[in-house]
């Protein structure tokens, strides 16, 4: 800097840096902030702004360090603490982030953005009641805070306070008429209240504002079905699939729509059980003396996995548990199973013909990766109907099954069923379904947009399987 970093030149450099920063020219902004620090190493504003920039660039550790340096020089600026909280949160240090937000509020009790950030962190920490209070306080301080109204409404809706949620979203939209998320959430809340015509209007507005808004398109299709208009539902699905032919959620919705509209052949074209569901019996990997030994080793590895958590929220498993991804650092029998799954996927791809007329086949990935997780079910365990919207092909390998051969009253207990949509679809027409019995050592591969679930099992023996997804890579 010229003039040895006089106050005027420092202020000018910071202002220039902020101008670049707001315009998204991060390199230019960084150059200005560093110019200030070169002349004034203790300039707290420049250190803070460099930290904010580092967070935006994904350098989270640098962001925390720089903002902490700014706070060491001036610990009375609430925005420093609020932005430190954001940097800590994206670094996975949520408790420290909560403390930083609370410190910002302690310094300035009328800081709405800090209350908003605190509310979001509390929501993500599964503390909805505390989050509601934080968002409410943000709105009290800043009555035109559309984002706070939106988050406030989302929590109210989840708490079963539908009318209050609708009003919160309505206020967010009044403040910010083109607020896509608020229109979407408004539509979902209206849908839950049975106000279908209003819900459809709100969801249509969300789609108008963001044509690739997958969740809005899905909920719009469900609302149209609820209103008894499967023909319009088909049109919505087709509009989405025209822009995104491989969209798994809309493919699954279109099957429902076609079936409800009486187009069985159209539904069968997409839901072709015989063509697309592929059972495979594995070959025992080297190092194991038979299938029983391999599966016993797998079962032990699964049941001792530290990430195994029962009744995990947000999953389709009922009366059972899930692990995290087993393939992050696969060891032992899981590593052997990974090789078997990769081979099965390659065989599946080779068996599927090139067919641009079919959206599933037309969207086959050139590059992909596997994710896998174990499912351990107890008495009454089953999986509700669901799809895997992020994957192209999914699969399941059966590790351990209860012995129900001598229990005829169990019927098809534990079988996997394809084609029955989730209960959220209020269908009037019985869908076509196909069920398969599980078998230890058997692996199924199927399109990820196929709704699938399992029949409850009423024995005390555990049912252990390993599910996997083929995730397309750019």
- Look at residue 407 and tell me whether its pLDDT is greater than 90: no
Nearby residues of 165 by Cβ (< 8 Å), 6 or more positions away: 153, 154, 156, 157, 185, 189
Residue 2 pLDDT greater than 50, yes or no: no
Q: How confident is the model at residue 1 (pLDDT cuts 50, 70, 90)?
A: very low
Write the DSSP string, 237-278.
HHHHHHH-TT-HHHHHHHHHHHHHTT-HHHHHHHS-HHHH-E
Domain co-membership, 197 together with 237: yes
Residues 354 and 209 in one domain: no
Bridge partner residues of 165 (DSSP): none
34: which DSSP letter? H
Q: What percent of the chain has pLDDT over 70?
A: 94
pLDDT of residue 4: 42
- pLDDT at residue 183 above 70? yes
Whether 409 shows a pLDDT value over 70: the answer reads no
Task: Report, as an integer, the average pLDDT of 370-394.
Answer: 88
Residue 129: inside a domain, yes or no?
A: yes
- Answer yes or no: is pLDDT of 279 > 90: yes
Q: Are 224 and 233 in contact (CB under 8 A)?
A: yes
- Output phi, psi for 417, to 5 deg: -120, 135
195 & 309 share domain:
no
The answer to whether position 403 is within a domain reads yes
Q: Is pLDDT above 60 for 253?
A: yes
Task: Name the average pLDDT for the chain.
Answer: 92
Tell me the C-alpha distance between 231 and 241, whole Å: 15
In a domain, 236, yes or no: yes
pLDDT band at 413 (very low <50, low <70, confident <90, very high): confident
Residue 160 lies in a domain: yes
> Residue 43 corresponds to which tokens in the numbers above?
């300039």
Model confidence at 474, pLDDT cuts 50, 70, 90, reads: confident
Pick the last residue of a domain from 217, 241, 265: 265
* Structure-block tokens of residue 269: 């074209």
- Position 463 confidence tier, pLDDT thresholds 50, 70, 90: confident
* 446 confidence band (pLDDT: 50, 70, 90): very high
Residues 178 and 51 in one domain: yes
Residue 404 pLDDT: 59
Q: What is the CATH number for 356? A: 2.60.120.620
Q: Is residue 121 part of a domain?
A: yes
Joined together, the tokens standing for residue 440 give 């230890």
Please state the rounded mean pLDDT for residues 367-396.
89
**Residue 233 to residue 260: CA distance in whole angstroms:** 10
Q: What is the mean pLDDT of residues 273-277?
A: 96
Q: Average pLDDT, stretch 308-337?
A: 84
pLDDT exceeds cutoff 70 at 405: no
Is the Cα torsion angle 224, 225, 229, 231 positive or negative in sign?
positive
> Which of the listed ranges 16-20, 176-180, 401-405 does the model predict with the highest average pLDDT?
176-180
How far apart CA 394 and CA 466 sit, in angstroms, is 11
**Sequence-distant contacts of 206-210: CB under 8 A, at least 24 apart:** 206/180, 206/181, 209/178, 209/180, 209/183, 210/180
In a domain, 252, yes or no: yes
| Same-domain status, 35 and 177 | yes
Note whether 355 and 447 are same-domain residues: yes
Please state the rounded mean pLDDT for residues 111-132: 96
For 177, half-sphere exposure in the C-beta direction (CA atoms, 13 angstrom radius) is 0
SS3 190: helix
The separation between the first and the last C-alpha atoms of the chain, rounded to the nearest angstrom, is 44
At residue 204, φ and ψ (nearest 5 deg) are -60, -40
Give the helix, strand, coil percentages of the chain, each rounded to 5.
55, 15, 30
Most confident of 97-101, 356-360, 461-465: 97-101
At 276 the pLDDT is 97
Task: Output the pLDDT for position 3.
Answer: 44
Query: Are 205 and 142 within one domain?
Result: yes
Say which CATH number the domain at 234 has. 1.25.40.10
Please give the average per-residue pLDDT across 250-261, as a whole number.
96
pLDDT tens digits for range 7-59? 677 888 899 999 999 999 999 999 999 999 998 999 999 999 999 999 999 99
Q: Do 360 and 380 lie in a common domain?
A: yes
Element (H, E) at 451: none
Per-residue pLDDT of 65-79, as tens digits, reads: 999 999 999 999 999
> Angle between the 112-124 and 128-141 helix axes, to the nearest 10 degrees?
160
Q: Which two tokens stand for residue 265?
A: 């052949």
What is the domain extent for residue 101?
2-265
Last residue of a domain, one of 211, 239, 265: 265
pLDDT greater than 70 at residue 417: yes
Say what angle helices 94-107 and 78-90 make with each other, to 10 degrees: 170
Q: Distance between CA atoms of 227 and 238, rounded to whole angstroms?
A: 18
Cβ atoms of 177 and 146 closer than 8 Å: no
Does any domain span residue 270?
no
For 10, 18, 24, 25, 84, the CA distances from 30, given in Å and listed in that order, are: 14, 9, 11, 9, 18
pLDDT value at residue 286: 92
Q: Which of 213, 232, 265 finishes a domain?
A: 265
**Crossing angle (nearest 10°) for helices 78-90 and 112-124:** 20
Distance CA 291, CA 269 (A): 37
429 and 290 in one domain?
yes
Give the Cα separation of 71 and 77 in Å (integer). 8
User: Do 204 and 303 fall within a single domain?
Assistant: no
With a cut of 60, say whether residue 328 has pLDDT above it: yes
Helix, strand, or coil (residue 236): helix
What is the Cα–Cα distance from 389 to 374, expressed in whole angstroms?
18
Q: What DSSP line would sit under 387-404, residue for residue?
A: --TT-SEEEEEEEE----
Overall domain count for the chain: 2
Phi, psi (deg, nearest 5) at residue 446: -160, 160
pLDDT-based confidence at residue 243 (cuts at 50, 70, 90): confident
Residues 107, 71, single domain; the answer is yes
Q: Give me the pLDDT at residue 6, please.
A: 61
Q: Residue 321: its pLDDT value, please? A: 84
> Residue 246: inside a domain, yes or no?
yes
Tell me how far apart the alpha carbons of residues 30 and 436 are, in angstroms, rounded to a whole number: 60
Q: Is a pLDDT exceeding 80 seen at residue 266?
A: yes
The reply to whether 256 and 279 lie within a common domain is no
The mean pLDDT value for 420-429 works out to: 89
- Find the mean pLDDT for residues 218-242: 93
């Amino acid at each position: 800097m010229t003039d040895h970093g006089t106050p005027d030149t420092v202020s000018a450099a910071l202002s220039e840096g902020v101008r670049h920063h707001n315009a998204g020219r991060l390199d230019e902004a960084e150059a200005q902030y560093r110019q200030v620090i070169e002349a004034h190493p203790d300039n707290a504003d420049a250190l803070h702004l460099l930290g904010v920039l580092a967070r935006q660039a994904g350098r989270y550790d640098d962001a925390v360090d720089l903002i902490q340096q700014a706070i060491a020089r001036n610990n009375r600026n609430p925005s420093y603490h609020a932005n430190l909280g954001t940097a800590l949160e994206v670094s996975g240090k949520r408790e420290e982030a909560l403390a930083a937000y609370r410190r910002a509020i302690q310094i300035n009790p009328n800081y709405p953005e800090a209350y908003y950030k605190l509310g979001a962190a509390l929501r993500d920490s599964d503390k909805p009641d505390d989050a509601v209070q934080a968002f409410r306080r943000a709105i009290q301080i800043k009555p035109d805070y559309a984002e706070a109204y939106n988050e406030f409404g989302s929590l109210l809706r989840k708490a079963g306070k539908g009318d209050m949620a609708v009003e919160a979203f309505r206020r967010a939209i009044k403040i910010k008429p083109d607020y896509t998320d608020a229109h979407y959430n408004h539509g979902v809340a209206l849908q839950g209240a049975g106000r279908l015509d209003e819900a459809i209007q709100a969801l249509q507005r969300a789609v108008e504002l963001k044509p690739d808004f997958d969740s809005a398109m899905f909920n719009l299709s469900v609302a149209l079905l609820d209103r008894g208009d499967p023909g319009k539902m088909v049109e919505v699905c087709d509009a989405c699939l025209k822009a995104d032919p491989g969209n798994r959620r809309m493919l699954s919705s279109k099957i429902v729509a076609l079936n409800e509209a009486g187009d069985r052949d159209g539904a069968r074209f997409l839901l072709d059980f015989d063509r697309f569901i592929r059972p495979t019996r594995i070959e025992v990997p080297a190092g194991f003396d038979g299938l029983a030994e391999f599966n016993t080793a797998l079962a032990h590895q699964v049941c001792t996995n530290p990430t195994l958590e029962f009744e995990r929220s947000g999953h389709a498993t009922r009366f059972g548990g899930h692990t995290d991804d087993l393939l992050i650092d696969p060891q032992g029998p899981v590593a052997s199973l990974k090789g078997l799954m990769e081979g099965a996927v390659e065989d599946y791809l080779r068996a599927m013909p090139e067919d641009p007329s079919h959206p599933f086949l037309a969207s086959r990935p050139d590059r992909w990766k596997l994710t896998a997780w174990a499912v351990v079910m107890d008495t009454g365990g089953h999986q509700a109907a669901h799809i895997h919207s992020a994957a192209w092909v999914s699969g399941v390998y059966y590790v351990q099954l209860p012995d129900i051969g001598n229990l005829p009253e169990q019927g098809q207990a534990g079988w996997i069923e394809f084609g029955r949509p989730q209960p959220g679809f209020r269908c009037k027409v019985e869908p076509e379904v196909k069920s398969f019995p599980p078998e230890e050592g058997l692996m199924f591969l199927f399109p990820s947009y196929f709704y699938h679930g399992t029949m409850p099992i009423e024995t005390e023996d555990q049912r252990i399987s390993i599910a996997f997804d083929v995730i397309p890579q750019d």
